[in-house]
Amino acid sequence: MKENVPCHVAVIMDGNGRWAKKRNLPKMAGHRQGMVSMKEIIKHASALGIKYLTVYAFSTENWKRSNEEVKGIFNLLVSFVDKELRELHKNNVKVNILGDYLKLPGDAIERIEKTLSTTKDNTGLVFNIALNYGGRRDILEALKAVLQDMKTEALKEEGIEEEYFKKMLSTGRLNIPDPDLIIRTSGEMRLSNFLLWESAYAELVFSQVLWPDFTKEDFDKCIGEYNERQRRFGGRQELDKV
């Protein structure tokens, strides 16, 4: 595509369950097809020259789902890593995890750490997977880190600036810039506790397409909508100033 691409795109991959229900299939069929869509979007984002791609894979609230569904999601994660790690590494993709992945089952933790270790020196697309992640909890953990620095006298109150606080967030610790564009699929129009601090000036695009049906053409449409907007960051364009 000829349009400019955002540096960082974040995606709330929504609609797996509804996709399966429409076809009278079990929920896990939707999650499996969602993994196929995720793989294609990773490849396409890399080809477009996007620097950072972040996907919301499992939130802190998703633990409320049935044990069967939660276990199935983690099994899919293990399967995805086993099948795709070689290709991700071959394509110079660096994988990061946002969230407390150490609360996941042991086999999932093992695959995650293998992926992090294998891809840590790659210099292409930075692919961030939000796992057991919640924006509110991330902000609370950052606040605790700030208070700990103050307690040990490594930080004074006057030193608490936005940039300092950002470095305490999951994204800040990994030097991930704020998202330029956040896409949510399936027609839902909310952030659902995703990148709450970082999304302050992100452009939001909501697609009616269920995630398992989401294609690279749908992704391009979202970027096209992003390109039609003027990002003012609270200011005004020169022609608007009167």
Which segments of 13-105 does DSSP mark as H helices, in order? 16-22, 27-48, 67-90
More confident residue, 153 or 53: 53
Q: Tens digit of pLDDT for each residue in 80-129?
A: 988 999 999 999 999 999 999 999 999 999 999 999 999 999 999 999 99
Q: What pLDDT does residue 202 have?
A: 98
Q: Which of 4, 14, 92, 132 is catalytic?
A: 14
What CA–CA distances, in Å, run from 119 to 54, 82, 96, 112, 188?
Answer: 16, 14, 9, 11, 33
d(CA 56, CA 138): 14
Can 227 be counted among the known catalytic residues?
Answer: no
Q: 239 pLDDT exceeds 60? A: no
Q: What pLDDT does residue 121 have?
A: 98
Q: Tens digit of pLDDT for each residue in 154-189?
A: 777 776 789 989 999 999 999 999 999 999 999 999
d(CA 48, CA 220): 10
Q: 240 pLDDT exceeds 60? A: no
Can 62 be counted among the known catalytic residues?
Answer: yes
Mean pLDDT of the chain, nearest integer: 92
Residue 152: which pLDDT band, with cuts at 50, 70 and 90? confident
More confident residue, 76 or 234: 76
Q: What pLDDT does residue 159 have?
A: 65
Q: What are phi and psi of 215, to 5 degrees?
A: -110, 175
Of residues 126, 45, 33, the one with CA closest to residue 76: 33
CB-side exposure of 31: number of CA atoms within 13 Å?
A: 18
CATH of 8-132+178-230, one of 3.40.50.720, 3.40.1180.10, 3.40.50.2020, 3.40.50.300: 3.40.1180.10
What CA–CA distances, in Å, run from 70 to 21, 61, 104?
Answer: 17, 11, 10
Residue 196: which pLDDT band, with cuts at 50, 70 and 90? very high
Mean pLDDT of 200-211: 98
Q: Which of 16, 62, 138, 213 is catalytic?
A: 62
What CA–CA distances, in Å, run from 36 to 17, 23, 97, 129, 238?
Answer: 15, 17, 19, 15, 44
More confident residue, 154 or 148: 148
Residue 63: which pLDDT band, with cuts at 50, 70 and 90? very high
On the 0-12 / 13-18 / 19+ scale of CB atoms within 10 A, 123 is: exposed
Domain extent listing, the chain: 8-132+178-230
